[in-house]
Each structure stands twice: as structure tokens, then as C-alpha cells.
A and B are shown apart, each in its own frame.
Chain A
Amino acid sequence: MPDLILKVKNLKKAYNDKPAVDGISFEVKKGEIFGILGPNGAGKTTTLEMIETLRPIDSGTILVDGIDVGEHPNQVKQIIGVQPQTAAFQDKQKLSEIIEMFAAAYGERVHAKEFLEDVELGEKANDFAESLSGGQRQRLSIAAALVHSPKLFFLDEPTTGLDPQARRNLWDLIRSVRDRGVTVILTTHYLEEAELLCDRVAIMDSGKIIALDTPHNLVKQLLKRGFTKEQQVEQANLEDVFIDLTGKGLRD
């Protein structure tokens, strides 16, 4: 059995007696990029927030690298990095100071410049956060979440609102984070993003996990059930045309 970084067992959470997360269990292996998909209100964010120690657990257990989230939230915080849906920072604060601040929150001292260079923001170290574009802010947010070399990294809809170039750039960045040995868990609404990026995906609906496998296997299972697309699939789509015409270079 491969090493597990996350073990969720029979996790439940209800708001006003309405179950938001309804007894889910899943495991994430070390070094994976794991995707959680699902329509709005499926319980993705609530699940993430419970793992991230932000929301109390009604019942069930979560083990992050063997540590019980309910019992030792502060130890868990020390080994996870969290990238929230909206990357917001206080105004009038330099990028290097933001990195310094997050490092301090983890009790660490770092060379801010190196972390910024990792996400191609080295030249902007002395700029204020409010001058960044959406994609740059997401990259800064990722750098800030990794200052303490976490073992597990969460991204909540990281590419929502970004242009195709910035999204591709972010995918590469997420892969390079994984290649450094950090396990990545992300939620997304873009299914082709999950297909390209994730090693395995869990599909949630109404607080339950209704499918969990590699993207390839999930598609194979569907086809086995006799599914055919109404339209002939073309070898490229409009996004491919867009990238072909405008190039892959970042625009921010």
C-alpha cells in the first residue's frame, strides 16, 4: 500500500440539519494531484474547510499525515498550505513583505525573493500587491502558501477567472509544486482542467462522493456503459485555436 497523506473517514457536516457533507470517505496518496469536482453546493468547499481546520467536524475522522485534525488542529496547520478561492492581500504591502509575513506566521524566516522567483514574480518583489493582475495574484498566493514547505497543498478553484494563458501557466506551476514532493488537492469547475492535471478525481454531489478514480478510468467506465456523444468529436476545440493564435506566453 502506498503512503497516504490524507485519510478521511465517514466525514459529516450539517448546517441547520441539512447535510452539506454526508458521510464521505476517501484517501489521498503522497505525491498525487487530487481533484474534487462537483456542481455548486455539492459540499466540496465544506469538505476542504474541515480538512483545513477552519470548520468544526460534526462526525467522522480526518487524518493528515497521521495527525487527527479534530484533536491537533495546530499541528495540522503547520504542515498544510492553503490557497483560498480569492487571493486577496492587504493594500500598501510589498510582495516581499507578504511572503515574510506568511513565513512569520509559521515561525519561519525565509528569503522572500527566492519564493517570488519560483512563481516568476522576482522582479516585482518591491511592488504593492494591489498592482498585480489576477494571474499574478494567484501566483503570489501560491508562493505565500508554500513558504513553510507544507506536505499537503490545497487550492480552491485556482484558475477561475483567469485567461487561457494564465491558466496554462498555473497548471505548470501546480505540476512543478507536485514534482517537489508536495501533494496537491484542488477543486475546480473546469473538467478539462481536472482531466489534464489530476492523477485522480472525486466527483461529489449532494454531500456524497459518487465517483472516484483516474480521469482515464472514469471515461472508460462511461464508454463501457454504451455512452456515445451526439456530435462527432473534433481533434481540436476553440481553446486550442485561441492558444494557437495568441501563443502560450503569459500576458500579465
Chain B
Amino acid sequence: MSDVPSQSLKQQLRTVVVFTKLSTKRFFRDRLAQFFSILFPLIFLFVFGSLNNGNKNVTFSVAVLDQSKTSFATKFDHELHSSSTFKVDPTLTTLSAAENKMAKNQLDGIIILPSNFGTIKPGQHYPSGQAQILYDESNVGTGQTLTSVLQSVFNQINTKFVAVQEPFSASGQALNKASLSSFDYTFSGLLGFSIIGLGIFGPVNVFPELKKQGILRRLHTTPLKTWQYFLATMFSQALTGAIAIAIQFAVAIKIFHLKVDGNYPEIALFTIFSIFMILGLGLAIGGWAKNERQAAPLSNIIVFPMLFLSGTFFPRYLMPHWLQSVTNYLPLTPVIDGLRLLTTEGKSLLDIGPQLGLIAIWFVVIYAIAFRVFKWE
């Protein structure tokens, strides 16, 4: 019997390095892979970024129907037009036209200045009147807010005509420092989306194809081991993924004024750890599936609930409580939460233990399954 020297650990790790290098090189030559991992998430970033950006201040789109001919009413009407809080639609001059538009949800309310608005009553030396605010039944919240905003406008006017003492008052001050804009939520969600794209759709599309062509089977005739192949895939995905994520950060900062309140090495570390874990799902699905027909439905079953429930496109705080407590434990949820905490809430890795722990647990579970179900052909 001949004696075959087995490979040393150093040799086996060098194999991983060579495979990583070659697969990364392939990525940089493959336009399609670049499109899906870099450009595709950027498109979403632009769409969601511009949706959120215009919404910084509260505005009400209203119609103003001035039925009074007093100079006070005219002046008041004019003020509303130039106010930044009210977006007055100048084309609406009749009640029916305005009601029509409100029924289509394109108008928040109708402000009617009745004919006696701004007249000076006998015995008084200042004008008075009551503006009428109409809002849609389905939009009570907006209507009431609109009413109280208008009321506070009147309060200010009132003090000018009648000297009153105000023992109590409330003063509001916006604390911009730590508050999260909805873009902050959207951004970490979009990062989660692109990690899913990289980690799951990548291998799920590639592996069945490699099996069909017999490329994996051929590798299996060599002493290459599953862990070596997994490690190489993980490293090259993390590398290309980190590039894709970095580009998204750059765009978000430059174009959408994302304020990063955290440190980049920690964000990078967390991102790579997250890519590893999510990639495990891709390796498990793509490694298990014999062909695309098996891979596609399974990946959809796993990906879609995470896309909708982990806070990718809709912030999770909008969900009912019971749903939040269930979706807390989806693999993608700690990824998105962790990214938000690290990026915009000024937390460090030490503060996000629960997220790291959950990702670590999923990591172990997912890779245990992936190794077990991996097939070379």
C-alpha cells in the first residue's frame, strides 16, 4: 500500500486563500453580479431616499374659500398662502371642487372664511370671526391637527387685539440632535435588503447552475473539503459585500445627508459578521437544492417574510406589538437594528449585545444546517 501524505492545515488554508482570490476576481469581471450587488440596492436607496427627503416639515395642503370681503380676511388669506405650513391650492375656488379633491385624498382640509369673518362688531374696536375647517372623516387625525394649528395662529392674532395675561403656556423646541429621521430607519433597512441580496440571492442563483454544469461535482473529485469551499465563499462575499455597503454609505451621506454617528471600523465589523450569517442561509438553500426549481421557492419562502417583517422597507415600530415580538427573532431583524444603532444612534458594539448574540445564535444554527444539507451535485 502506498503512503499518501495528507495535506497540512497550512496547505488547506492556502487553498481557501486561492479560492477566495479567484472568486473575488471573477466578481470584478462579472457585470451582472456587480449590477445586482451594487447598482440594484442603490436604485432602492435613491427611490426611498427621495421619498423621505421631501417630508422634513409638516405641511397641510388646503383650499381656502374666502367668502368674506373684509380687508382682514383678505390679509389673512394672503398670509396663509405665503405660509410654509400651509400649501394652498389656488385653483380651488368652489366648495364642491375642493370637496371633490379632498375625497380623492389629495387635500388635507378646507378652510372657509365665512362672509362675516373679519367684520368689526358694534361696540368692539377689533375684528372677529370664526373660520370653519372641513376635513374628511377618514382623516380625523390630520383634520384635528390642522384645526389646532389654525387655532394657535388665531391665538397669536388675538393677543395683538386684546391684551391678555397668559399664566400658562407651552413652548415647544425641536431636539434635532438624537432624533431619528425616517430616512435613518429606511437606510438601515436598505442595508439589510442589500445584505439579503448579496448573501441569499447570490448563492441561490449560482449554486444550482454550478451543479447543473457539473462544476461542483468536479471539485468534489479533488480533496477540496466543504468547509474550505464555504470559507472561500464567505470571504469573497464579505469582501464584495463590504464594497457594496461602503458605496451605499457614501451615496447616503453625500446625497441624502445621512449623519453617521458611530465609528466605521465597528460598522464594518458588524456588517461583515452579518453578511457571514445571512450568507449561511444562501449556502444552505443553494447547497441543498438540486436545481433552480427547488431553490427559487425555498428562497422566496425564507426571504419574503424577512423583507417585510424585519424592517427592510417598513419600520418595525409601525407594526402591532404581537407582530414585533415575533419578528424580533427573525435573522435579519438584529442585523437591521444593529446597523441602525451603530450608524445613527451612536451606539458601540458593546451596547448591542442582544443583537450580536442573536446573530451569533443564528450563525451557528444556519451553518450547522448548511453543512448537513450541502450537496456537490
Contact = CB atoms under 8 A, between A and B. Distances in A.
Given A79-B2, A104-B14, A52 B221 contact: yes
A107 B223 contact: yes
B29 A105 contact: no
B8, B19, B210, B223, most chain A CB atoms within 10 A: B223
Contacts of A53: 221
**Size band of the B side of the interface?**
20 to 34
A54, A86, A92, most chain B CB atoms within 10 A: A92
B145 to A, nearest CB: 57
Interface in B1-52: 1-2, 4, 6-8, 11-12, 14-15, 18-19, 22, 25-26, 29-30
Given A65-B2, A88-B215, A102 B220 contact: no
B14 A54 contact: no
Contact of B22 (A101, A106, A107, A151): A101
B121 interface: no
Given A67-B4, A90-B26, A92-B26, A104 B19 contact: yes
A93 B15 CA distance: 17
Contact of A54 (B11, B15, B220, B224): B220
Interface residues of A, number: 31
Interface in A89-106: 89-93, 97, 100-102, 104-106
Q: Does more than half of chain A's interface fall in helix, strand or loop, or is it mixed?
A: loop
B12 to A, nearest CB: 7
A29 interface: no
Contact of A75 (B4, B8, B210): B4
A105 to B, nearest CB: 4
A216 to B, nearest CB: 32
B213 A86 contact: yes
B218 interface: yes
B106 to A, nearest CB: 51
Contacts of A85: 214
A224 to B, nearest CB: 40
Contact of A79 (B4, B7, B11, B14): B4
A113 interface: no
A217 interface: no
Interface of B: 1-2, 4, 6-8, 11-12, 14-15, 18-19, 22, 25-26, 29-30, 210, 213-215, 217-224, 377
Given A54-B221, A78-B6, 20 more contacts: A54-B220, A66-B1, A75-B6, A77-B222, A78-B223, A79-B2, A79-B4, A80-B221, A82-B218, A84-B217, A86-B213, A86-B214, A90-B215, A93-B26, A100-B18, A101-B18, A101-B22, A104-B19, A105-B15, A106-B222
